[in-house]
Structure 1
């Protein structure tokens, strides 16, 4: 690959080569940091290739093609792309299609966010061709308008400050952007405000031109139950439901400041949000669902489904507390980012969630009674959802 890249750059004039370096410094791929200008300023062609391989690894060739197109060297770009595809096709089929195993690699204390591996056009075309009726067909990148909703509660009036939640918010915004979604982000909302933002999001006209959406809620949470001995009584429709707590929640002073998670599904249903009918809606919830430690000592005009194409992934099982590092954020979000970055180019979303679950199960930090097992919930995806990062 290095030789092919050097050959392409050797065919550039000096002005085009300087413009090529300028685009590398500016950044070409969402979610991947550009190469610092100081490293490229005086670099010759071979030095630039070395910097790109060091920075982008296996994606260096693809990024070279993108940069050549930016400077209108379309013939060189097409030639290089063709050479790279021939090299890829010459590899054994098993090697090209194999997913990198990440299941036995727990996140370490010095974990840092990796760059996201881009899907190849060849993989996307083959997947859609071979699974036409079993895969959600993505819209063209140049025309779609993907939206994602991200709500994070960090600072509460009465409840404990969610240390590390700001890092979760940063990581999720970065990941969703890298996956091609424009993120609507809100921080520190009451339950009523969360409900309003979800309903406003469901009404957005951009969903008509989208092919999918993400809704991510991160906050303190609990399962709402009647507590009449403390003077707190709720309507029957709220009982035993997962709730996201608003920033003013207090068990006795302000017990009604919460948002019922089930309301996401009704707000984004075919009835309330027809623009997302037959389009996948991914719900991610980072919140406690109780206070149990998690371990035990044992021995349209036509009829449509009112709710379809959802998949929800929650940070813990019902009744269980979730865990969060005060500096690095929650294990759940870190594992999602890590797995999506390394595997979203090759795996569909349920397999991505399975790998997150498998790695969290084996995480040695959860010792004794403190256990954390995420779970896929309320799934109604009849097809496979591939995110095809970069395409």
Structure 2
């Protein structure tokens, strides 16, 4: 794996690479859409010396996985063959060429099946991050959740979202923060928004920090969709709204003992529908019907009625895996595929006696949404 190859030579790379080659590599990786403008600027501007720039560059690329690491090794070979030889680098076997031409970013930008992203919209991206860590009831304090907040803020920033952050909110103040977010001036020009809420929870509700058994402090999840929908936030109409909720949805464990014989339960759904308009009915030009809820996709940390897990040193598994998958694949996969890969990571849970499975919920995306983080 090329990322392991970079890890092997990290010390020597930092010691030997020149500043000129660092800049050339940054240009190459930016052109490959493996780094974005903000990441390039952070390497050049947030580090005073050559060695610090080299450390920052190699660590960023290594975290993006095998493909990005292999491309960097190839660029090192082209830019400085002496350095490539001294480091005894190898990018490993080259990927087999696809039998048919792959779509370029330019093609995707003009594809009607893909939500539009432009340089202007990238500069207007904004995200809401609410993190409840310290509760009035000390028994509910969420140790390790600081890491979740840190990981999500870093990830959203790298995807070029301005992060509007709130900490330790009651249910009333969660609603207030959401209401204020719908009036953010950037929403008019953005291509998408993230809303990330990290807290305790129960089925269909997120707990505010004043929650007690005898006096619940609960924010209904359903309100998120109402506030971001067209009636309350027309600026986000036809734009992807990505919701991530790290909160338990009940007290049950996610593991069961499986029997070879399962009797299916038959259920019946009943739906009442409003009468259809009469044929030929005229509608006033001033009115326009829009979907009550469209262009959403949500990832909830667990299935209904089950708990979510976290480590006190690393934070919740959901946020860890989101950061890992997005950092590795957001330059090539759409949001739906990214969420699928996050869910796939939970198939190998680190504790054999526990299980957790995130759930994609209320997905009403009508097109593919690419973050284009390297565009």
> Which residue number in structure 1 is paired with residue 98 of structure 2?
94
Distance 1:151 1:178 in 2: 18
1:226-284 CA distance string (max 9 Å, x none):
xxxxxxxxxxxxxxxx11111110010x22x1111110000000111000000000000
> Which residue number in structure 1 is paired with residue 200 of structure 2?
220
> Which residue number in structure 2 is paired with residue 137 of structure 1?
116
Q: Does the 8 Å contact 2:251/2:305 carry over to 1? A: yes
> Which residue number in structure 2 is paired with residue 243 of structure 1?
205
Distance 1:194 1:157 in 2: 16
Distance 1:379 1:385 in 2: 12
> Which residue number in structure 2 is paired with residue 387 of structure 1?
371
Q: Does the 8 Å contact 1:39/1:51 carry over to 2? A: no
Q: Does the 8 Å contact 2:297/2:360 carry over to 1? A: yes
> Which residue number in structure 1 is paired with residue 274 of structure 2?
none
> Which residue number in structure 2 is paired with residue 157 of structure 1?
136
Q: Does the 8 Å contact 2:123/2:160 carry over to 1? A: no
Does 1:267 find its partner at 2:227? Answer: yes
1:373 aligned residue (357, 362, 366) = 357
Other structure's SS at 2:165 match = strand
Other structure's SS at 1:34 match = helix
Q: 1:54 to 1:199 in 2, by over 3 A?
A: closer
1:1-391 counterparts in 2 under 5 A? 29-31=37-39, 34=43, 36-40=47-51, 56=61, 57=69, 93-94=97-98, 123-129=104-110, 132-141=111-120, 144-158=123-137, 159-223=139-203, 242-252=204-214, 254-255=215-216, 257-299=217-259, 301-363=287-349, 365-368=350-353, 370-391=354-375
Q: 1:53 to 1:154 in 2, by over 3 A?
A: closer
Q: Does the 8 Å contact 2:171/2:219 carry over to 1? A: yes
Cα offset, 1:54, TM superposition: 7.8
Distance 1:19 1:91 in 2: 25
Distance 1:330 1:164 in 2: 8
Q: 1:328 to 1:31 in 2, by over 3 A?
A: farther
How many pairs does the alignment contain?
Answer: 295
- Tell which deviates more after alignment, 142-151 or 289-298: 142-151
Q: Does the 8 Å contact 1:215/1:284 carry over to 2? A: yes
Q: Gaps (5+ residues) in structure 1?
A: 1-15, 42-47, 65-89, 99-121, 224-241
Q: 1:125 to 1:220 in 2, by over 3 A?
A: same
Q: 1:316 to 1:52 in 2, by over 3 A?
A: closer
Cα offset, 1:161, TM superposition: 1.4
Other structure's SS at 2:104 match = helix
Distance 1:28 1:182 in 2: 15
Distance 1:332 1:170 in 2: 14
Q: Does the 8 Å contact 2:122/2:160 carry over to 1? A: no
Cα offset, 1:34, TM superposition: 2.5
Q: 1:95 to 1:221 in 2, by over 3 A?
A: farther
Distance 2:196 2:332 in 1: 23
Q: 1:31 to 1:289 in 2, by over 3 A?
A: farther
Cα offset, 1:203, TM superposition: 1.9
Q: Does the 8 Å contact 2:195/2:241 carry over to 1? A: yes
Q: 1:384 to 1:28 in 2, by over 3 A?
A: closer
